[in-house]
Amino acid sequence: MSLQARVAPPPHPVAQALHAEWTKLRTVAGPAWLLAGVAALTIAVGAAAASAAQCSSATCGIDPAKVSFTGIYLGQAVIAVAGVLAIGNEYSTGMVKLSLTAMPRRLTWLFAKTAVLIGPVLTAAALAVAGSALAGRLILPGHGFTPAHGYASLTSATDFRAAAGAVLYLTLVALLSLGVAAAVRDSAVAIGLVLGVLYLFPLAAAVISNVPISRHLQQIGPLPAGLDAQATIGVKTLPLTPWQGLGVVALWTVGALLLGAVVLEFRDA
Amino acid sequence: MTTETVTPHRSPAAPARESFWYLVHAEWTKFRTVPGWVIAVLVAIVVISAFAFLGADVGSSCTQTGGGHAAACPAEPTGPGGEPVTDAFYFAHQPVTGDGAITVQVTSLTGQVPVPPPGYTADGPGGQPWFKTGIILKENLSQGSAYAAMMVTGSHGVRMQWDYVNDTPGLAGNVSASAPRWLRLVRHGTTITGYDSPDGTHWTPVGTATLPWLTSTMQAGLFTAAPSGGDSTNATGVFRHIGLSWPASGWTGTNVGGTGPNGVPLPGALRQSAGTITVTGSGDISPVTGNTGSVNSLQRALTGTFFGLIPLIVVAAMFMTAEYRRGLIRVSLTAAPRRGRLLAAKAVVIGAVGFIAGLVAATLALAVGAPALRRTGIPLWPASPLTEARMVVGTGALLAVAAVLALAIGTIVRRSAPAVAAVIVVIFVPYLLVLGPLQGPKGEAPVWPLQITPAAALAVQQALPKFYQVTAIYQVNAGYYPYPPWAGLAVECAWAAAALALAFHLLRRRDA
* Higher-scoring residue by pLDDT: A19, B316: B316
What would the mean pLDDT of B24-28 be, rounded to a whole number? 93
Q: Are residues B396 and B321 in the same domain?
A: yes
Residue B65 included in any domain? no
Q: How many independent structural domains does chain B possess? A: 2
Give residue B1's pLDDT band: very low, low, confident or very high (50, 70, 90).
low
Identify the pLDDT of residue B59. 45
Handedness of CA B252, B144, B96, B282 (dihedral sign): positive
Residue B69 included in any domain? no
Identify the pLDDT of residue A130. 93
Q: Which residues pair with B135 in a beta bridge?
A: B150, B222
Maximum alpha-carbon separation in chain B: 126
Identify the pLDDT of residue A36. 92
CATH number, residue B169:
2.60.120
Q: Are residues B359 and B494 in the same domain?
A: yes
Instruction: Decide if A73 and B60 are in contact by the 8 Å CB cutoff.
Output: no
Identify the pLDDT of residue B114. 57
Q: Are residues B239 and B375 in the same domain?
A: no
- Residue A75 phi, psi dihedral angles, 5° rounding: -60, -35
Say whether pLDDT at B12 is over 50.
yes
Say whether pLDDT at B128 is over 80.
no
Question: A3: distance to nearest CA of chain B, Å?
Answer: 39
Amino acid identity, position B213: W
Of B287, B315, B345, the residue at which a domain comes to its end is B287
Q: Are residues B40 and B112 in the same domain?
A: no
Share of chain B above pLDDT 90, in %: 41
Q: Which residues pair with B296 in a beta bridge?
A: B380
Q: Are residues B301 and B277 in the same domain?
A: no
Q: Are residues B351 and B424 in the same domain?
A: yes
Query: Closest partner residue to B432 among A67, A84, A203, by Cβ?
Result: A203
Instruction: Decide if B439 and A189 are in contact by the 8 Å CB cutoff.
Output: no
B157-183 pLDDT, tens digit per residue, is 899 999 988 999 988 888 888 889 999
Instruction: Decide if A49 and B432 are in contact by the 8 Å CB cutoff.
Output: no
Say whether pLDDT at B65 is over 50.
no
Share of chain B above pLDDT 70, in %: 85
What would the mean pLDDT of B91-108 be, rounded to a whole number? 91
Q: Are residues B302 and B374 in the same domain?
A: yes
A15-61 pLDDT, tens digit per residue, is 888 888 888 888 887 888 999 999 999 999 999 888 888 777 776 77
Identify the pLDDT of residue A28. 82
What would the mean pLDDT of A187-202 be, rounded to a whole number? 94
Say whether pLDDT at B115 is over 60.
no
Rounded to whole angstroms, the Cα distance separating B58 from B22 reads 48
Residues B394-410 as b or e (16 or more Cβ within 10 Å = b)? bbbbbbbbbbbbbbbbb
Identify the pLDDT of residue B294. 72
Instruction: Decide if B433 and A73 are in contact by the 8 Å CB cutoff.
Output: yes
**Testing the interface with B: which of A54, A187, A218 to mutate, by most B Cβ within 10 A?**
A187
* Higher-scoring residue by pLDDT: B391, B275: B391
A240-259 pLDDT, tens digit per residue, is 888 899 999 999 999 999 99
> Rounded to the nearest 5 degrees, what angle is found at the Cα of B316, between the Cα atoms of B504 and B314?
130
Identify the pLDDT of residue B439. 60
Using a CB–CB cut-off of 8 Å, the residues of A that contact B are 49, 52-54, 56, 60, 62-63, 66-67, 69-70, 73-74, 77-78, 80-81, 84-85, 88, 92, 186-192, 195-196, 199-200, 202-204, 206-211, 213, 227
Residue B403, C-beta contacts closer than 8 angstroms, at least 6 positions apart: B312, B313, B315, B316, B350, B351, B353, B354
**How do B191-197 and B204-210 pair as beta strands?**
antiparallel
Q: Are residues B299 and B283 in the same domain?
A: no
Supply the DSSP string of B256-286, one letter for each residue: ET---SSSSPPP-EEEEETTEEEEEE-BEEE
- Determine the length of chain B: 512
Residue B68 included in any domain? no
Q: Are A228 and A242 in contact (CB under 8 A)?
A: yes
Say whether pLDDT at B448 is over 90.
no
Identify the pLDDT of residue B337. 85
Distances (CA, A) of B92 to A200, B153, B215, B228, B372: 54, 18, 20, 21, 41
Q: Does B424 touch chain A (CB under 8 A)?
A: yes
Rounded to whole angstroms, the Cα distance separating B222 from A21 reads 84
Burial class (CB in 10 A: 0-12, 13-18, 19+), B263: exposed
**How do B71-72 and B62-63 pair as beta strands?**
parallel
To the nearest 5 percent, what fractions of chain B are helix, strand and coil? 40, 25, 35
Residue B443 included in any domain? yes
Query: Closest partner residue to B318 among A88, A188, A195, by Cβ?
Result: A188
Identify the pLDDT of residue B376. 76
Instruction: Decide if A192 and B300 are in contact by the 8 Å CB cutoff.
Output: no
**pLDDT averaged over chain B?**
84
B257-295 pLDDT, tens digit per residue, is 776 554 556 778 888 888 889 998 888 888 887 665 677
Q: Are residues B242 and B363 in the same domain?
A: no
A102-158 pLDDT, tens digit per residue, is 888 888 899 999 999 999 999 999 999 999 999 988 888 888 787 777 676 666 778
Amino acid identity, position B417: A
Phi-psi region of B334 (alpha: psi -120 to 50; beta: other; left: phi over 0): alpha
According to DSSP, residue B253 is labeled E
Query: Closest partner residue to A199 among B59, B428, B440, by Cβ?
Result: B428
Give residue B206's pLDDT band: very low, low, confident or very high (50, 70, 90).
very high
A31-40 pLDDT, tens digit per residue, is 889 999 999 9
What would the mean pLDDT of B287-311 be, rounded to a whole number? 84
Identify the pLDDT of residue B123. 47
Residue A66: its chain B contacts at CB < 8 A?
A: 437
Q: Are residues B44 and B132 in the same domain?
A: no
Amino acid identity, position B23: L
Identify the pLDDT of residue B250. 86
Instruction: Decide if B420 and A191 are in contact by the 8 Å CB cutoff.
Output: yes
Say whether pLDDT at B72 is over 80.
no
Residue A74: its chain B contacts at CB < 8 A?
A: 425, 429
Q: Does B341 touch chain A (CB under 8 A)?
A: no
Identify the pLDDT of residue B379. 81
Please name the residues between 57 and 96 in chain B that touch chain A, using a CB distance below 8 Å: 58-61
Amino acid identity, position B96: V
Segments making up each domain of chain A, as ranges: 33-48+60-266
Residue B19, C-beta contacts closer than 8 angstroms, at least 6 positions apart: none
B217-272 pLDDT, tens digit per residue, is 899 999 998 886 555 678 889 999 998 888 888 888 888 877 655 455 677 888 88
Residue B72 included in any domain? no
Rounded to whole angstroms, the Cα distance separating A154 from A137 reads 6
Most confident of A66-75, B173-182, B353-362, B477-486: B353-362
Q: Does B478 touch chain A (CB under 8 A)?
A: no
Q: Are residues B404 and B259 in the same domain?
A: no
Identify the pLDDT of residue B437. 65
The parent domain of residue B196 ranges over 85-287
Instruction: Decide if A207 and B300 are in contact by the 8 Å CB cutoff.
Output: yes
Give residue B69's pLDDT band: very low, low, confident or very high (50, 70, 90).
very low
Query: Closest partner residue to B306 among A63, A191, A203, by Cβ?
Result: A203
B347-369 pLDDT, tens digit per residue, is 999 999 999 999 999 999 999 88
Q: Are residues B247 and B329 in the same domain?
A: no
Residue B57, C-beta contacts closer than 8 angstroms, at least 6 positions apart: B372, B375, B376
CB atoms within 10 A of CB B29: 10
